[in-house]
Amino acid sequence: MSYPAEDWIRHHTRFSPGKEALVDLASDRAFTYGELDARIDRAALYLRDGLGIERGDRVAVICHNDSDVFEIQFACRRLGAVFMPLNWRLAVAELEYICNDGGPKVLIHGLEFASQATEIQQLCAIPHLVSLNNGGASDYEAGLAAATGELREVDMDLSDTWTIMYTSGTTGRPKGARMTYQMAVFNAMHCAMTMSITEASKNIVFLPTFHTGGLNVYANPIFHTGGTNVVLREFDPVYFLALLSDKELHITHMFGVPTNFLMMAQAPGFAEADLSHIECLGIGGAAAPLALIEEFAAKNIKLQQGWGMTETGPLGLMLSPDQALAKIGSSGLPPMYVSLKICDDRDVEVPFGQDGELLIKGPTVLPGYWNRDAEHDDFFTHDGWFRTGDVARQDADGYYYIVDRTKDMYISGGENIYPAEIENVIFEMDGVLENAVIGVPDEKWGEVGRACVVLKDGSNLDEDAVISHCQDKLARFKVPKQVRIMDELPHNATGKVLKHEIPRD
Ligand code: ADP
C-alpha cells in the first residue's frame, strides 16, 4: 500500500496562511506559512527552470543555519528532488568523497563557504553552483526574484527518498542515509506525541540542520504540526541562554546534545535563568551524564532524554516528562510505531536485563544507504531489523538504557569495558567540565582505559584525584590506568565528542 507524501507547508497554508512559520534571527526575517509557501514555490521554479533540476536529482546545500535551508528542503519536495545537506565542518577532501558519492546536480552554498564550494564543484564536476546569503544579495535571491510560471507539484509517495543525509562520521567514513517521507512523517508524529508539539509550539533550531538533530528534532515535526521554528545561526551558550529566558520570544521546545547543556550550565546567568515557560528540553545524541541531568533537575528543569540515529528518523527512544526524573539515565521507551529488541552477536534476543546490541524496526527506519545496496546485509538482519551498533539493556519496567556504542568498547585483560559508564562516574567530580574515556594499547592488558579530562575554569583537580575517585566507585578492572588533563576535546559540528580524533600518544 502506498500513500502520497503530503506537502506540509501547502497544507498549513490552506488552513492558516497567516500563522508564523519561520523566524531567522541572524537576518531578522519572519515568514508566515503563506509567505513561506510562496518562497518555496519560487525556489522550486528557480531550481526547475533556472537549473534544470528534475525528480530524483540531488540538491546539495552547504551553509550555516539559515531559514532558506528549509525552503530548499520543501522546494525539493515540490520537484521530487532529493535534498542533500552537507556538513560544513568537513575538509574539502571529505566533502569531495560525499559529493562524488551523492552526485548532486547543484551545490548551493552560503557565501562564507564560497571557496570550498568552488573547489568541490571542480573536483566533483557539479553542473551548478549557487550562492546563498541569509536573505542578502545572492544567486539564490536573484533566482527567486526572477522566477515566474506555474509549478505543477510532482506526486511523491511516502516511500520515496526526500533527503540523503551523510552520517556524521563519528565512527568512520560517512554513509548517505536515504531518508524517506515516511520516516519524516512518523518521526513527526512520534515527536508530537511524546514532546507535546502543537501548532502553538515554538522550537529553536540551533543544532546544524545538516544533522538529523537540527533538521528532525524538532524542526521538521514542528512544520508537520503547523508550529513555529526560530532559526539560530550558531550556538553560543550565553546568547542561547538569553534567548531561552526571553519571555516575549517564548521558546517552548529545544533539543540539544549533552555538550550544549554542559556549556549552558557554565554560562554566567544560568543560576538566575527562568526557563519555566519551556515545555520540553530534550537531550540526546550522546550519553547524557547523570550529574548534568541532576544539575538541571535541581533548578526544577526536566531534561527529557531520547535516543536516536540519523538512520532511525531519528527518534527511537524517548523518556516522557513524568518519568524524566524517576528514570534518570534511561533513554526511555520506544515511540508508538517503533519496535526494538536487544540481541547477541548471532541476532538472538538476550535474556531480559542483559546487555546486547539494540536492533530496531519500524516506519522511521531507513530503507538503506545510498549506493550501498551490496552491503545491505551488513546493516540489516535477514528479517529486516536495522543493527544500531549501540549496546543497550532494559530494566524491570522495560525502560531502555544505552550502555555505549559497540565501536567505543575496548577490551582490557579480557573484560569488555564500556567507556560511558566510567565517563559518568568522572562527571560526578566537581571540577570536571567534560571527559572521554578511550582504550589505548597496553602490553600487559591488551588495552587499558585512558580518561581524557577537561577541567572547569579554576579547578585544580589532578590525575591522582580522578583515579582515586574511580577506585571508590568502579570495579578495579574498569578504573582507567591513565588520566590526561586536556585543554579541550574534539567535537563534531553537533557538539558530540569525536573519540577517534583524540590523540592516542
Ligand atoms: P554518528 O553515529 O555519526 O554520531 P548520529 O548523529 O546518527 O551519527 O548519532 C547516532 C548515535 O548517537 C547513536 O548510534 C548513539 O551511539 C548515539 N546516541 C544517540 N542518543 C544517545 C543517547 N541518549 N545515549 C547514548 N548515546 C546516544
For ligand 1, whether the C-beta of 307 sits within 6 Å is yes
- Bigger pLDDT: 441 or 75? 75
pLDDT of residue 59: 98
Q: Which of 43, 6, 273 is nearest to 143 (CA)?
A: 43
Which of 307, 327, 364 is the best mutation target for the ligand 1 pocket, counting ligand atoms within 8 Å of the beta carbon and taking the most? 307
Reported as a single tens digit per residue, the pLDDT across 357-402 is: 999 999 999 999 999 999 999 999 999 999 999 999 999 999 999 9
Q: How many other CB atoms are found less than 10 A from the CB of residue 136?
A: 11
- Binned at pLDDT 50, 70 and 90, residue 341 comes out as very high
For ligand 1, whether the C-beta of 216 sits within 6 Å is no
Provide the 3-class DSSP secondary structure of residue 66: coil
Taking the centre of ligand 1 as the mean of its atom positions, its distance from the CA of residue 493, in whole angstroms, is: 14
Taking the centre of ligand 1 as the mean of its atom positions, its distance from the CA of residue 28, in whole angstroms, is: 33
- Bigger pLDDT: 405 or 161? 161
Taking the centre of ligand 1 as the mean of its atom positions, its distance from the CA of residue 240, in whole angstroms, is: 23
Contact 395, 424 (CB under 8 A): no
Beta bridge partners of 279: none
Q: Which of 426, 432, 481 is nearest to 461 (CA)?
A: 432
Q: How many other CB atoms are found less than 10 A from the CB of residue 128?
A: 17
CATH of domain 8-177: 3.40.50.12780
CA-based R_g, the chain, Å? 23
Taking the centre of ligand 1 as the mean of its atom positions, its distance from the CA of residue 310, in whole angstroms, is: 8
pLDDT of residue 414: 80
Equal CATH topology for 8-177 and 235-405? yes
Report how far Cα 305 is from the mean position of its chain's Cα atoms: 13
Sequence ranges of the domains in the chain: 8-177, 235-405, 410-501
Answer whether residue 169 shows pLDDT above 70. Answer: no
Contact 439, 447 (CB under 8 A): yes
Which of 168, 390, 421 is the best mutation target for the ligand 1 pocket, counting ligand atoms within 8 Å of the beta carbon and taking the most? 390
Answer whether residue 171 shows pLDDT above 80. Answer: no
Taking the centre of ligand 1 as the mean of its atom positions, its distance from the CA of residue 168, in whole angstroms, is: 10
pLDDT of residue 168: 62
Torsion angle, alpha carbons of 144, 125, 374, 383, to 10: -10
Q: Which of 457, 406, 450, 449 is nearest to 432 (CA)?
A: 457
Q: Which residue's CA is the closest to the ligand 1 atom numbered 5?
A: 309
Q: At what angle do helices 419-427 and 463-473 cross, to 10 degrees?
A: 110
Question: Mean pLDDT over residues 102-107, rounded?
Answer: 98
Question: Mean pLDDT over residues 315-330, rounded?
Answer: 92
The structural architecture, per CATH, of the domain 410-501 is 2-Layer Sandwich (3.30)
DSSP type of residue 173: S
Provide the 3-class DSSP secondary structure of residue 493: coil
Joined together, the cell numbers standing for residue 21 give 512559520
Report how far Cα 63 is from the mean position of its chain's Cα atoms: 16
For ligand 1, whether the C-beta of 305 sits within 6 Å is yes
For ligand 1, whether the C-beta of 496 sits within 6 Å is yes
For ligand 1, whether the C-beta of 316 sits within 6 Å is no
Counting residues of the chain whose pLDDT is more than 90, the rounded percentage is 84
pLDDT of residue 411: 87
For ligand 1, whether the C-beta of 424 sits within 6 Å is no
CA–CA distance, 333 with 401 (Å, rounded to integer): 9
* Nearest ligand 1 atom to alpha carbon 314: 7
Joined together, the cell numbers standing for residue 259 give 555538550
Taking the centre of ligand 1 as the mean of its atom positions, its distance from the CA of residue 10, in whole angstroms, is: 33
For ligand 1, whether the C-beta of 169 sits within 6 Å is yes
Reported as a single tens digit per residue, the pLDDT across 302-311 is: 999 999 999 9
Torsion angle, alpha carbons of 12, 14, 15, 16, to 10: 70
CA–CA distance, 44 with 148 (Å, rounded to integer): 10
For ligand 1, whether the C-beta of 499 sits within 6 Å is no
Q: Which of 110, 113, 98, 104 is nearest to 167 (CA)?
A: 98
pLDDT of residue 416: 84
CATH topology of domain 235-405: Rossmann fold (3.40.50)
pLDDT of residue 445: 85
Contact 162, 86 (CB under 8 A): no
Counting residues of the chain whose pLDDT is more than 70, the rounded percentage is 99
- Binned at pLDDT 50, 70 and 90, residue 170 comes out as low
Q: Which of 146, 115, 147, 145 is nearest to 131 (CA)?
A: 115
Question: Mean pLDDT over residues 336-353, rounded?
Answer: 95
CA–CA distance, 240 with 19 (Å, rounded to integer): 25
pLDDT of residue 172: 61
For ligand 1, whether the C-beta of 87 sits within 6 Å is no
Reported as a single tens digit per residue, the pLDDT across 234-286 is: 899 999 999 999 999 999 999 999 989 999 999 999 999 999 999 999 999 98
CA–CA distance, 256 with 265 (Å, rounded to integer): 13
For ligand 1, whether the C-beta of 264 sits within 6 Å is no
Contact 256, 280 (CB under 8 A): no
How do 20-24 and 29-32 pair as beta strands?
A: antiparallel
pLDDT of residue 505: 78
- Bigger pLDDT: 121 or 442? 121
Q: Which residue's CA is the closest to the ligand 1 atom numbered 16?
A: 405
Answer whether residue 1 shows pLDDT above 70. Answer: no
Q: Which residue's CA is the closest to the ligand 1 atom numbered 27?
A: 286
For ligand 1, whether the C-beta of 315 sits within 6 Å is no
Compute the Cα dihedral for 365, 367, 373, 377 and give only its sign: positive
| Number of residues written out for the chain | 505
Contact 210, 34 (CB under 8 A): no
